[in-house]
Amino acid sequence: MSDQVLISIDNGVGRIRLNRPKAIHALTTEMCSAIIDALLAWRTDDSVVAVMLDHAPSPDGDPKLSRGFCAGGDIAMIANSAKGDCSEAEQFFFIEYRMNHLLFVYEKPIVAFIDGIVMGGGVGISDPARYRVATERTTYAMPETGIGLFPDVGGGWFLPRMPGRTGTWLATTGARIKGADCAAIGIATHYMASDKLEAVKARIIADPDGLAEILDEMADAPPPSTVEAHRDRIDRLFASDRFEEILAALEADGSDWAREQIATLATKSPQTIKVALRQMVEGAAFTDFADNMRNEYRIGHHVIRRPDFIEGVRAVIFDKDNAPRWNPARPEDVTDELVDSLFAPLPPEKEWTPLPELRG
């Protein structure tokens, strides 16, 4: 068993604790495989009533190492693989997406405590949970447009199902929102002060059958949401599925908020924004989560072979100059034909499939 994820059963509660504090618990292929193995075993174990997903505390108590639930996937590995034959990156996505799908269809209740940084892969393991608990320390984002990837791990399913156009805004801008915002727009089912979490977890372990009632009883009223305060603007200015039309609407609005969005979008990969906008449309139309994940795997297969991904990771992760040189550099240069090519089906033997245990 990997020490990167701690797996145990405690009085009928299957516990999955992410344990890579120095990497803000970013997911590796090994971690995803360990989570899959545990969930599959617990499906048929009548002694397991519920599943609890959180992150382990830093062993030395360093608050800097305890600041995250899960900051995403192992982007450095994916980028290094993309510079070669892409096989390691493809294996990671294949297994990670199987884990996302397993969490989504899981029969037993799962509660995810999203206390801290929740980005990318962290969204992918928590959004499918039946119960999602945010705190004042929660920072949630899908920042993939900033690294030339795309909002994956189920983003195509969850983002367009958020109220109004909030999902489109999150997908394109990579905006970071807080726990109160997560509660306001349905990302979190419950909100509570972080200093209550250990007591809540202890109560759930003592009475797993009472999971839902315990969460309801212990929840706090969240503070006002800044996202909700801007909802009218988000819905109106991000109404289009075309990037150029969103930019035109923001320009015409002229408010300080609109100017901030223009400045943010100018730092993102135009290719990735157009992929995300199409992904929102296609994802909204899917009725089966597996179809969404197959679609995302196709996109991932193609996108990691494009220049923007390696360049985005260089600028944000490796060199940290935050000055990516996108190619194509302008929205109007990202043609419909280019976007079409990134959604193209793969050869049958390369397509993503759910776990064999979930088929039939």
73, 146, 155, 179: which one is catalytic? Answer: 73
96, 144, 296, 308: which one is catalytic? Answer: 144
Catalytic, 332? Answer no
Catalytic, 45? Answer no
Catalytic, 144? Answer yes
End-to-end CA distance of the chain: 29
152, 181, 296, 308: which one is catalytic? Answer: 152
120, 121, 155, 156: which one is catalytic? Answer: 121
Helix (H), strand (E) counts: the chain: 17, 10
From CA 344, how far away is CA 346, in angstroms rounded? 7
SS3 of residue 185 by DSSP:
coil
Task: Kindly state the tokens that stand for 227.
Answer: 């996202």
Residue among 326, 165, 178 at smallest CA distance from 261: 165
- Amino acid of residue 37: D
Catalytic, 152? Answer yes
Give 301-360 as a DSSP string: HHHTTSHHHHHHHIIIIIS-------SS-SGGGS-HHHHHHHTPPPPGGGS----GGG--
Catalytic residues: 73, 121, 144, 152
